[in-house]
Structures are given as C-alpha cells and as structure tokens.
Chains A and B, each alone.
Chain A
C-alpha cells in the first residue's frame, strides 16, 4: 500500500497519510452499516408499495399507497398502537418511580453498596426472551410463587385479557428499573454536597430541598433514562411475545412479526414497518439531542 504513494510526498515518508488512515478506519464501518441497514430499508420501502407475498412465487404488483391506506383504516392496527401506548406508559412509569425511589435510598453510605448495586443491575443484563420464560414459571396459576405470595389461588395472570399486559409490564419494570436507578444514582451522586448544606443552614424543608435542588439536578439524566426506555418499550417484542399471545398483549412489534412471518403479507408488513420506523427515528433524534447535552459532564 505504501508503494502506491508518491515517494516524494511527506505522507509516504511517514507511512499512510492521516486522510487515508481516517478513510481506511471509518469507511468500512459505514459501508457495512449501509449494506446491513440502509439497503434493506430501501428494499422494503419498494415492497411497501406492492402486494408481494414472500410465501408465493407470484410477482409483486405495484399497488401505490394502498397498503398504507389499508393499515390506517384497520381497527386492529389502531388497537395494536393503543396497546403499545398503554404498555409504554405503564412500564416506563413504573420504572421511573421504582428506579428513582431506590436511587434516592441508595444515595448514602451503605455497607456493600457496590455489591448491592451490581446485584440489582443483574436483571437488565439478561435476555428478554429468557426473562419472559422464567417469569412464566413465577406467574403460573396454582403453583406459581406470585399467586402463592399474594394469596391468590388460581389467578391466571398471563391468560387473563384484562391483566396480561400489566403482568408483562411488571416483568419489564423488574428488568429495567435498575437502568433508571443507575442513571439517577449517577445524577444524585454528582450533586455537590454544599448545596444541601446551604439549604440546611437556610432551614429549607425537605420538600423544598427535593424540588429545588435534587430534582432539577437529576432531571437531565432522568430524562435520558425516560426517553431511552420509552423507545425500547415501544419496540418491545421478545418479552410480550414469549409471555402471552392474547389480543390485549399484541404490541405493534408483535403485529409486525405476525404480518410478515406468519401471514406472509410482505407488502403490507413493509408498509407497517415504515410507519414504526418513522416513529422510532423521531424518538432517537430527541434521545441523541439530550445525550449530547449531558455528554462529558
């Protein structure tokens, strides 16, 4: 590679030039991501305007915006979106309350604090599919420990259409509250102690100290946690898919999977995928904006 450079240039004397090293290091990654992410999306944008079915050999016919029109007029799809909204609200809400609460409790001198924190963080490192699986053991009616602990004899959490979604959300809260806790803890421990001392000298009430010092100083990190969890909850597939297969737990990602890989309605599924994609990108944009804002603090 060196021999291709002009032997007289300073770059050749010192090996590759900075520009060529930069390109050598960056371009393969970008090319790889384009091949594996952008190209497929262009491919599926094309299919979203057709009636293509991956299970048949029939050629795809161009149908214009028909798929999008059908989806927007489909009550089931609207139901999927409202189930997803409910799920996001419950699970992110629960995670924020629990995560922030435990972070407040942990933000003091506690014996074995590092060890306890790591134990609490274990669930979020686990596979969603596997967590969903073993929570089925906990939720099972009659011999599950949740029913036993609550004194409910035969309560079928996961096959009861009224509570199944909440049961899945509880599992998600169990898994991801530690994530919110971790970020809140980082925010809390960064608050300078002298602010609290000054507040104590001024005889500020606990509530005042909390709302005027603690909350505003933690909020940037808390916001990041909320946006990130909202995005992830919106995309949830594994957990709900493994735990329950009721209409009332059919999140939009599950609907998408069924449309594409069980009903093989490739064209419409590509159209729905695009609708989901646009929403996810919008949230990502907000997320990155906040991430950059707190960066390096």
Chain B
C-alpha cells in the first residue's frame, strides 16, 4: 500500500517538475526575445514569421552608441575596404557614422543617459543607505515616544504615488532651479528610498545582539565607537543588500525622471522608450539599449537572491 502511494506520489512529483520547467521556459521567452533581438541583424528583427535562428552580431550596439546618417548612392570601394568592421556593417545597411572634423565618431545620447542613470542611482543609494542605517539603529536601540507612528510615517512616504508628489515638487524645483538637474533627482530618489532603507536596515540591526555593544560599552567604548566598530561591521551584509535594492529602485525609476528631467539630467528609463517614436524604428538598437540597461539588474538579482523576500516585504519577513 505504502509502495503504491509513494509511486503515485513520485509520478505526481515528476509531473510537477515538468510543469515547473515548462512555466520557467515560457516565462523567460520575453527576456530571451529582447536579448536575442539586440544581437540580430536588422533584417532579421521584424520578420514574419519571427526569426529564431540567426548569426549573432554587434551592429545594434554600434548603432546604439553612435550618430548616423543615410548614405546616398554607392560607397567608395576604397573607403569601404579601409573602414573598420563596425563601419563596414553600417555601410552594408546604407548608413555611416557622423564624424567631427578630427575624425572622431559622434556619440549618440545613450551613453550620457546611461551615465546619468549611474551617477544618480549611486549617489542616491549612498545617501539613502547611510541615513537609513543610522535611523534604523536609532529606532532599534533606543526608545522613542510614538515610535510606531514615526515608523508608519516613514513607510507611508514610500507608498505615495510618484505623480502625486511630483506635481508640487516640480513647482518647488522650478522656483529653486532644480528642474532637470542631477542634484534634484538625487534628492528625490534619496527621499523615495530612505523609508525602504530604514525599514529594511531596522530588520537587520534588530538581529544583531545588543550584548555585543553592551560588552564594548563596559570595555570603555563610547556609544558612537561601539556603533562604528561593532554594529556596522556586523550589519555589513544587510547594508550591502539594502544598497543593492535601493540602487535597483533608483536605476529603474521612470515617473519622477519623466516629469523632472528632459535632457541634461535625463536618465535611461524615460530616454530608451522615447526612441520608439523618433524616426524609423530600429528595434535592434532599442533592444541593444534595453539589454545593456537590464544587465546590471539581472546580475544584482542573482547576488541578492537570498534577501529578495526580505526586501520585497520591507524587512518584515526575515527568512
């Protein structure tokens, strides 16, 4: 009887595993599709039926980073034979890269938007995690009147819809000249991530036994020394996980960036989709931009995998 049951049980198990694998594969098709489009030749990107097998190439990345114009007529064979591989690829598609008087290639707007994203995400992450860690320690170790209410207030700021905050922020930024500046966006993202950072770090700090610091205090450390020399090293993993979450949030943010920037400080999320409307849509170049933008997020997700549950529940669930 038991044998029969376990056999049917293991058959069920195998069926479940098969379904899981099928679901996983179907789930990953969209990600595979955007990635593969980034490596397709333009002629294979939008075919009917969709092209599944193709020879991968990097032309789309060349297009992503450079400014190009159409070439009218035939390319001089001598120029063509001397051109580096990436220029040849573009000549093949009837385009050439715009160069300045010294022969330097002109870059497209993508690298500058990518750099803006990086600067803004890193700076705001640093500020949010630094302030968040201190505040989390304060709430974790000391009593404060109305503690729960303050913590609720802090969390509720995270829940505000960006558009609701953006309307008055835009008016205020316009007065002080912070519209379309890096500083303006960094401060907004810091505020946005701060509440998350406080809640997540509080969970991590709560787990560090108080006895460590108390022993240090007995040994003659001041509270500050105990915090910097005992608590911070113990919280390093938590700080790293919190930083990665904050970075991803700032990196991905769209609404504030759309409303608060338009050129100088514009980040990649509002920039990349805007390429769809401008001129003839070249999906391979858009896919290349998307691929590069998603790459850091994918890497970080793997690094973070043990802390994802904690992160998405603001530190409430700790396993």
Give the B-binding residues of A (Cβ under 8 A): 14-16, 18-19, 21-22, 24-26, 28-30, 32-33, 36-37, 39-41, 43-44, 47, 54, 102, 105-106, 108-111, 114, 116-130, 132-138, 140, 142-145, 148, 174, 179, 182-183, 186, 190, 221, 224, 231, 235, 237-238, 242, 253, 256-257, 260-261, 266, 269-270, 273-274, 276-277, 280-281, 283-284, 287-288, 291-292, 294-297
Q: B159 contacts which chain A residues (CB < 8 A)?
A: 231, 280-281, 283-284, 287
Residue pair A29, B161 in contact (C-beta under 8 Å) = no
Given contacts A33-B154, A123-B30, A283-B159, list 9 more A-B pairs with CB under 8 A. A33-B195, A37-B165, A44-B164, A44-B168, A129-B270, A182-B312, A186-B319, A281-B156, A291-B316
Residue pair A114, B165 in contact (C-beta under 8 Å) = no
Q: Determine the residue in chain A with the shortest Cβ distance to B206.
A: A296
A-B residue pair count with CB separations less than 8 angstroms? 277
Whole-angstrom distance from the CB of A4 to the nearest CB of chain B?
15
Given A43-B171, A186-B319, A253:B30 Cβ within 8 A: no
Q: A231 contacts which chain B residues (CB < 8 A)?
A: 159
Residue pair A127, B308 in contact (C-beta under 8 Å) = no
Q: Determine the residue in chain A with the shortest Cβ distance to B315.
A: A295
Let me know if B94 is at the binding interface, CB within 8 A: no
Residue pair B297, A133 in contact (C-beta under 8 Å) = no
Residue pair A129, B269 in contact (C-beta under 8 Å) = yes
Q: Determine the residue in chain A with the shortest Cβ distance to B319.
A: A186
Q: A143 contacts which chain B residues (CB < 8 A)?
A: 46-48, 50
Residue pair A121, B301 in contact (C-beta under 8 Å) = yes
Q: B153 contacts which chain A residues (CB < 8 A)?
A: 30, 33
Give the A-binding residues of B (Cβ under 8 A): 13, 16-17, 19-21, 23-24, 27-31, 33-34, 37, 46-50, 131-132, 134-135, 137-139, 141-142, 144, 150, 152-157, 159-172, 174, 187-188, 190-191, 194-195, 198, 217, 222-225, 227, 248, 251-255, 259, 269-270, 272-273, 276, 283, 286-287, 290, 293-294, 297-298, 300-302, 305, 308-309, 312-314, 316-319
Residue pair A134, B30 in contact (C-beta under 8 Å) = yes
Q: How far is the CA of A284 from the CA of B167 in the complex (A)?
A: 21
Q: B301 contacts which chain A residues (CB < 8 A)?
A: 118, 121-122, 125
7 contacts between A and B (CB under 8 A): A25-B135, A44-B168, A133-B273, A144-B50, A174-B27, A270-B168, A295-B317
Q: A288 contacts which chain B residues (CB < 8 A)?
A: 152, 155-156
Residue pair B50, A145 in contact (C-beta under 8 Å) = yes
Q: A16 contacts which chain B residues (CB < 8 A)?
A: 222-224
Q: B224 contacts which chain A residues (CB < 8 A)?
A: 15-16, 21
Counting from the closest, the 3 A-B pairs by CB-CB distance are: A15-B222, A127-B252, A25-B138
Interface of A is mostly: helix
Q: A110 contacts which chain B residues (CB < 8 A)?
A: 16-17, 20
Residue pair B164, A277 in contact (C-beta under 8 Å) = yes
Whole-angstrom distance from the CB of A55 to the nearest CB of chain B?
11
Whole-angstrom distance from the CB of A272 to the nearest CB of chain B?
9
Q: Determine the residue in chain A with the shortest Cβ distance to B132.
A: A29
Q: Which of B167, B174, B194, B195 has the most CB of A within 10 A?
A: B167
Given A18-B223, A43-B172, A183-B309, A277:B161 Cβ within 8 A: yes
Residue pair A25, B134 in contact (C-beta under 8 Å) = yes
Q: How far is the CA of A39 from the CA of B13 in the complex (A)?
A: 56
Residue pair A266, B317 in contact (C-beta under 8 Å) = no
Q: How far is the CA of A77 from the CA of B169 in the complex (A)?
A: 23
Residue pair B13, A108 in contact (C-beta under 8 Å) = yes
Residue pair B191, A33 in contact (C-beta under 8 Å) = yes
Residue pair A135, B273 in contact (C-beta under 8 Å) = no
Residue pair A253, B198 in contact (C-beta under 8 Å) = no
Q: How far is the CA of A266 from the CA of B13 in the complex (A)?
A: 58
Residue pair A134, B293 in contact (C-beta under 8 Å) = no
Whole-angstrom distance from the CB of A66 to the nearest CB of chain B?
18
Q: A291 contacts which chain B residues (CB < 8 A)?
A: 313-314, 316
Whole-angstrom distance from the CB of B239 to the nearest CB of chain A?
15
Whole-angstrom distance from the CB of A162 to the nearest CB of chain B?
23
Whole-angstrom distance from the CB of B209 to the nearest CB of chain A?
15
Q: A132 contacts which chain B residues (CB < 8 A)?
A: 273
Residue pair A182, B160 in contact (C-beta under 8 Å) = no
Q: Determine the residue in chain A with the shortest Cβ distance to B159.
A: A284
Looking at the complex, which one of A19, A54, A129, A297 makes contact with B317 (CB distance below 8 Å)? A297
Given A21-B138, A277-B160, A32:B198 Cβ within 8 A: no
